[in-house]
Structure 1
Amino acid sequence: MMTSKLVLSDEDLKRLVKSDNADDRAVAAHKICRVMERQVVSEAEREAAHEIIRLMAHDAAELVRRALSVTMRTSELLPHDVAMKLAQDVVSVAVPVLHYSPVFSDDDLRAVIEAGNPARQIAIAKRDTLSEVVTGALATHGVEEAVVIACANDNARFDEGGFGRVMDRFGESEIMQSVLVHRQALPVTVTEKLVHLVSGALREQLVARHAVTPETAARISEAVQERATLDMAGRTPNAHDPKTLARHLVDFGRMTPSLMLRALVRGQMTFFEYALAELSGVPHERTWLMIHDAGSLGLLAIYDRAGLPGGMFATFKAAVETYHDLKAEQGHLDPIRLQERLIERFLTQTPTASREDIAYLMERLDFDHKGHSWANLPKGEAEAKSEFEAA
């Protein structure tokens, strides 16, 4: 039956085949599997080992089949047909191979997930690495615990559609939100959705726990969401995709003049360009020319086509011109310096600007970002700001 290289004793084989005691057969199964894993080398030995493994897989005793599953869970010697049989066995037998076995294909794992057994789904979710095929099946069919486990594993690869289904099914779950926040990278559209959900929770807390009117809470929540969205767009390596983010925000009705102004005064010009392009339906290349090479009339034309408020055009125009001035002077942009210059321009060089425009701009400059505040402004600018507030 087996070559001498496998050093399996006749007694071991007799116990496996003939013993009426399930415990004895399980012990023999464990020993035989360990020996085969260490000793099988030739093709003939592999075929003989497969025969014995299939014999164990058909044993009536769950204890024997579990011994097989546990001992061979990481072995490439386990035949594919046996692995599939064990995966459909009782949970105690199925879980070890589903968690570890390298012989399953992505399609095998997807089929098991789609069958819907939670324990099997969780076992698959715990595998060290998961392909987009497997995570997509989990996102669509998996129970929440399985999906949370997969999302917590940065070696589990999700495509954007998979993440979208996760958000659709479990986006309101605080556990899921926490897990997603702590992933190393997320698609920009998923991050923006997540920011939106967290902002909603913040609004509820402000209204419920503090003496804040719903209107004030909504305004604060909007500001938090906008800042977080732009922070994500500017800092997350794999999420820095301004075109995708702009399209997503437009599609979901969240591309507001306020958000665009925040981006512009923080020096995120590329995002501003794509925002105008998406709102206006004009290709980005042409939008770029209208913003940067066609003067005020070009900016006004693309601004109007985007449907932005006419009364805010002077604010946007000043921000774009200040951006150009700093680029010409320095060749690069410091967001804090850009904000300082924009404030200085509005308070000292734009006498025709309305108080409403100036107040709106100040609200959205986030000048306390990274510890900077009005108190740190140069003296002339701080005094101008104080005079404006006192007026």
Structure 2
Amino acid sequence: MSIVAMRSRLTDEDIRRLVKGENAEDRALAARKICQRIDSPELSAEERQAADAIINMIAQDAATLVRRALAVTLRQSPHLPKDVALKLAKDIDSIAVPVIAGSPVFTDAELIEIVRSEPGAKLAAVAARETVSKPVVMSLIDHADETAMGIVAANDGAEFDDEAYERSISRFGESKTVMDSFVSRSILPIEITEKIIARVSDDALQRLVRKHALPPQIAVDLAEGARERATVDLVDQAGVAPDMDRFVEQLQSSGRLTPSIILRGLLRGHIAFFEHAIARLAGVPHSKAWLLIHDAGPLGLKAVFERTGLPQRLLPAIRAAIDTVHSIEMGPGEEGRILFRRRLVERSLTKFQGVPEEDLEYILSRLDQDEADDQPAARIAG
């Protein structure tokens, strides 16, 4: 099927400008328009063959502007022919990078070859792909510079396991650029947090302690000023601790499992932390504490509370908070968690006004910070 036979989908003017355009701008505009039209899943096999011939012709154009129009328009298309994708990947950066970063047609082996043979921006493009398999990640660790490694370290779509983390720290442990980038990941294993915490910048440390669970001893040490510019909110660390029993045990052994932190944790919506704290202070298993707190009627909470040694004046506030927890649901995402916390505080205080002033100020300031932190994400999502 010839180019002429595609005219049912393309205008004569499109093809004339592509083949005979007097300047690069005209040909680039025609190339973009043609690529948009032929990137259709509805083409027959014969039409797809003709479309591939047109794409190959565009890829051989001497003008950078024309080849870039092709690269940008079809950078995420599954219909970009493999041979053209590989050809574009070897082109200049402005043409290669969009294709390398976005094209779904590359195999892991082809991406690894790009990592091993191409410099700079092309490595960074591989690192920035929506998904990066472990073999490609390992290749980047071995061959990338700090810039590309920083990009893949922060990329939630990049597959890091224990081996990848360990090799990254071995090669880039002295690079604050790379170590800081790991902090941007949505999930960071606690053992990796422990290994990089001394290697990150002060700014990254602040983000690390806000966003990720710290090993309990390190959390307590930082809260006590082991690193001067780091402050750890142990209440919010309770919300991300993966081993809650160990975290509560560490707080107790360091004298930090105070009535204030328990009440604050509950009013912040960290229910599991509250349960484990009550269980430890009462000297009962967590399962029994959970039953007494949530499922034993009004006397259950009173019974387990009285075994903790906590001030009796806190019981009405705790009861109001637990009743509120049972009456509201948490919506999805960070926005849902923030709304849950606000409703928890508002309804608890409506039922009981005797929360100590310093604890109330803390809770309200943290709610304000929640909403301030959530606004940039909301703007990005919008």
Q: TM-score range by the shorter chain?
A: 0.5 to 0.7
**Deviation sequence 1:150-170 (CA, Å, 0-9, x none):** 222223221222222222232
Which of residues 124, 128, 132 in structure 2 aligns to 1:122? 124
- Give the structure 2 partner of residue 152 of structure 1: 154
- Give the structure 1 partner of residue 14 of structure 2: 12
- Give the structure 2 partner of residue 26 of structure 1: 28
1:231, distance to aligned residue in structure 2 (A) = 11
TM-score (normalised: structure 2): 0.53
SS in 1 for 2:39: helix
- Give the structure 2 partner of residue 142 of structure 1: 144
Instruction: For 2:59, give the aligned amino acid.
Output: A
**1:10-89 matched pairs, under 5 angstroms:** 10-38=12-40, 40-89=42-91
CA pair 8-235 structure 1, distance change in 2 beyond 3 A: same
- Give the structure 1 partner of residue 194 of structure 2: 192
Instruction: For 2:9, give the aligned amino acid.
Output: V
- Give the structure 1 partner of residue 303 of structure 2: none
For the 8 Å contact 1:152–1:183, the answer to whether it is kept is: yes
Which of residues 170, 173, 186 in structure 2 aligns to 1:171? 173
2 CA distance for matches of 1:23 and 1:182? 40
CA pair 40-65 structure 1, distance change in 2 beyond 3 A: farther
For the 8 Å contact 2:165–2:192, the answer to whether it is kept is: yes
- Give the structure 2 partner of residue 131 of structure 1: 133
Residue 97 in structure 1 maps to residue 54 in structure 2: no
**Deviation sequence 1:279-332 (CA, Å, 0-9, x none):** xxxxxxxxxxxxxxxxxxxxxxxxxxxxxxxxxxxxxxxxxxxx8x93479956
**Deviation sequence 1:161-209 (CA, Å, 0-9, x none):** 22222222322333433332342222343222113446x98xxxxxxxx
User: How many equivalent residue pairs?
Assistant: 254
- Give the structure 1 partner of residue 114 of structure 2: 112
For the 8 Å contact 1:33–1:72, the answer to whether it is kept is: yes
* Stretches of structure 2 lacking an aligned partner (at least 5 in a row): 203-220, 255-279, 291-305, 310-357, 360-382
2 CA distance for matches of 1:182 and 1:25? 42
For the 8 Å contact 1:196–1:225, the answer to whether it is kept is: no
CA pair 233-31 structure 1, distance change in 2 beyond 3 A: closer
2 CA distance for matches of 1:338 and 1:135? 52
Instruction: For 2:283, give the aligned amino acid.
Output: L
1:20, distance to aligned residue in structure 2 (A) = 5.0
SS in 1 for 2:131: coil
SS in 2 for 1:93: helix
Q: Which has the higher helix share?
A: 1
CA pair 6-104 structure 1, distance change in 2 beyond 3 A: farther
- RMSD in angstroms over aligned alpha carbons? 4.5
2 CA distance for matches of 1:141 and 1:241? 39
1 CA distance for matches of 2:142 and 2:307? 45
CA pair 68-75 structure 1, distance change in 2 beyond 3 A: same
2 CA distance for matches of 1:149 and 1:107? 20
1:63, distance to aligned residue in structure 2 (A) = 1.8
Instruction: For 2:155, give the aligned amino acid.
Output: N
1:128, distance to aligned residue in structure 2 (A) = 2.4
Residue 326 in structure 1 maps to residue 328 in structure 2: no
1:240, distance to aligned residue in structure 2 (A) = 5.3
* Stretches of structure 1 lacking an aligned partner (at least 5 in a row): 202-219, 243-260, 267-322, 341-370, 373-391
